[in-house]
Structure 1
């Protein structure tokens, strides 16, 4: 695909039509197109015949297209499009609200607008106003679209019974779900499964290869193991992201193999905890990640996919980030991503273990903790045999036992204090958590200072402007020990200083 034919920006109807004609994946998720002659709305990468421009209406999000009466395309599948990145603009509060609602839907949790407003520190009336201004739809319309697009994904990509799909999508009854689905899409849920989707949506997904020798084994998914697709905007520094995870992979919990990353995970499901695994495989020619999940995760598919999107930063928009990173004093690498988190507490624990030690040493300490406090699990993969430790396991452990693993007393206190707060629900470590309050709560704990809080914000909270200015790797990459000078220099990288940190770390690796 020649993306040079499309404009660098797509803020006018003519520019968006040019991007649509070029099927430019850089604009995937940045707008959707409704075709008045068919009543269907599509992603700009849709492979159908190009509609006439006079028949095209452009929308900033899927909810706006659906509010205007358009139905989602069964070929390009709008639910696969990447989301929008956070910025430091005046719209950040509305974007944060959308993220909280989307996360609740994916986790199958009830959504209360007053509850969302309360978490953001505003009234629900104020939230409705700024949400409408930012997104062009009401919070209720946005929420309905998120629920129905999740249901559409589950109906298309899994064999879940319609009853389970309804519950996973946030509907209390099948009757309400069927009515909402038919009203919005003019199609019943069961009929969707019989509808031909065309080659773009129905293209075969290559299954993982057969079993390989121990340590690098891959397993062929059974029919109960769903394989789902997630889109991203190119360019994407796939080698850089996989190298980052490979250097920090804890044996038994995670592994990187070629274009694939696989790991074990514990997912909450109501009062229960579901243990399983997932495998992610990059498919660069399609600008997608294909995700194979443990059958245990079928009830929490939406939440699991959200974690994948966060961990791989699939919603990033390089058109916004790359021009800022071009000012860094090194050769640019297109498509830098924030290596995020599959498990917020696990990532925060590794950050604490990494205080004043090398990446390799922190990995060794994480392995020891996992072997002692992480439960064993059976998986189809020879190199995935253990679950990451839970906050409860660390909080309730004997401090002396943790210390015998080679962890100094100050670090033990920090680990257990953070684990206790997360286990009690007083600190949440995910990308929907309130940034300022969470940062303050963490820094009130013993052994957690600005450096630690900034790194946790970078990876577990997905804050793109996080900047651990005293990080020794960052300072080495810039060739200085003058923190004040670095902070002044970094002003040019706002609001994407976190991406600058990732590029500086990457550059440091090339110097070794």
Structure 2
């Protein structure tokens, strides 16, 4: 789906212009992230978004060669682009920072193709984008913490985890002061450690097992080439069911064609249908069922 002539235009060593194909619903994207923001890790202010990041020099989760810093994004005034600012500490990994920022804000999407595929479902908000992530491990942890709790509670648990075991950012920036814990850090925790911040015991065990598998190189959480096979691998892990695996595929891998059939809000949009009927109905939105899920979340008045 990448149709951009370039991924970024360098304005300076720490500032880049990231182009996208319009339309782009920045306010919706910002609201989605703000509702889930973790204080100290993320900050939404003055119409922009910024957060701390840990990037690896070798793109290897097992390597200790990590670089810490922050990224900041806001819309460009007179261009179909976002302005990306990075901390000086990230200049050596600017390409990685750019790639993570583009994934987080879904800048490689083609809204024309998506709207054509979704038809009437997308006509009111053709600029909706699929919120991604800057770190697949972090997003997977957040998905597990979000099981069977409200979005607000999931953010609260993530904040407790980060403030208890995440490192302090060496050079705080604005409201940014904390780094999300690494797999190695969470792998050392016990179930009782996580229960002390309010995480249920089975979920705690799931998080620790996940972190240990990633830290030891037995599991990769990077985007799977085969999304269905990747989700099957996730479902084989303790504590990860169909909804969680699908949500990880959508948010962590930016998979465009995942439909959250079992999601509470999605089921509300199809009150007269069985799960099987919902799955069959959603086939009309292939290959962009992740975007269909997003539009259904935003449209309480929609009727099949």
Does TM, scored on the shorter chain, surpass 0.5? Answer: yes
List gaps (5 residues or longer) in structure 1.
Answer: 1-26, 31-77, 82-152, 160-225
The SS at the match of 1:502 is helix
1:428/1:438 contact within 8 Å kept: no
Aligned to 1:29: 3
The SS at the match of 1:464 is coil
The SS at the match of 2:180 is coil
Q: 1:331 to 1:396 in 2, by over 3 A?
A: same
Aligned to 2:6: 79
Aligned to 1:392: 184
Aligned to 1:274: 67
Query: Which digits, 9 at most, give the CA deviation of each residue in 1:391-413, with x for residues without a partner?
Result: 11111112101011111111112
TM-score, with length taken from structure 2: 0.90
**How far is 1:28 from its partner?**
9.4
The SS at the match of 2:120 is coil
Which of 414, 417, 425 is matched with 2:209 structurally? 417
1:430/1:462 contact within 8 Å kept: no
List gaps (5 residues or longer) in structure 2.
Answer: none
Q: Is the strand fraction higher in 1 or 2?
A: 2
Aligned to 2:53: 265
- Partners of 1:378 and 1:415 in 2: CA distance: 26
The SS at the match of 2:24 is coil
Query: Which digits, 9 at most, give the CA deviation of each residue in 1:306-346, with x for residues without a partner?
Result: 00111100000011101222333x86211221100111111
Matched residues, number: 297
5 Å-filtered alignment, 1:356-395, equals 356-395=148-187
- Partners of 2:182 and 2:99 in 1: CA distance: 20
Which of 287, 291, 301 is matched with 1:495 structurally? 287
Aligned to 2:254: 462
The SS at the match of 1:228 is strand
2:115/2:123 contact within 8 Å kept: no
TM-score, with length taken from structure 1: 0.55
The SS at the match of 1:327 is helix
Q: 1:480 to 1:313 in 2, by over 3 A?
A: farther
- Partners of 1:439 and 1:80 in 2: CA distance: 28
Larger radius of gyration: 1
Query: Which digits, 9 at most, give the CA deviation of each residue in 1:468-500, with x for residues without a partner?
Result: 210112222444573222112111111100001
1:310/1:431 contact within 8 Å kept: no
Q: 1:481 to 1:362 in 2, by over 3 A?
A: farther
1:28/1:233 contact within 8 Å kept: no
**How far is 1:282 from its partner?**
1.3
Q: 1:485 to 1:327 in 2, by over 3 A?
A: farther
5 Å-filtered alignment, 1:328-367, equals 328=121, 332-367=124-159
Aligned to 1:192: none
- Partners of 1:379 and 1:158 in 2: CA distance: 21
- Partners of 1:249 and 1:389 in 2: CA distance: 16
- Partners of 2:228 and 2:105 in 1: CA distance: 23
Aligned to 1:290: 83
- Partners of 1:325 and 1:437 in 2: CA distance: 25
2:2/2:109 contact within 8 Å kept: no
Q: 1:487 to 1:281 in 2, by over 3 A?
A: same
The SS at the match of 2:231 is helix
The SS at the match of 2:90 is helix
Q: Is the helix fraction higher in 1 or 2?
A: 1
The SS at the match of 1:326 is helix
Considering only aligned residues, what root-mean-square deviation do their CA atoms show, in Å?
2.3
- Partners of 1:260 and 1:486 in 2: CA distance: 37
1:427/1:438 contact within 8 Å kept: no
Which of 26, 30, 40 is matched with 1:242 structurally? 30
- Partners of 2:24 and 2:123 in 1: CA distance: 16
Which of 25, 39, 60 is matched with 1:251 structurally? 39
> Which deviates the most, 376-385 or 493-502?
376-385
5 Å-filtered alignment, 1:22-421, equals 29=3, 78-80=5-7, 157-158=11-12, 226-270=14-58, 271=63, 272-283=65-76, 285-328=78-121, 332-421=124-213
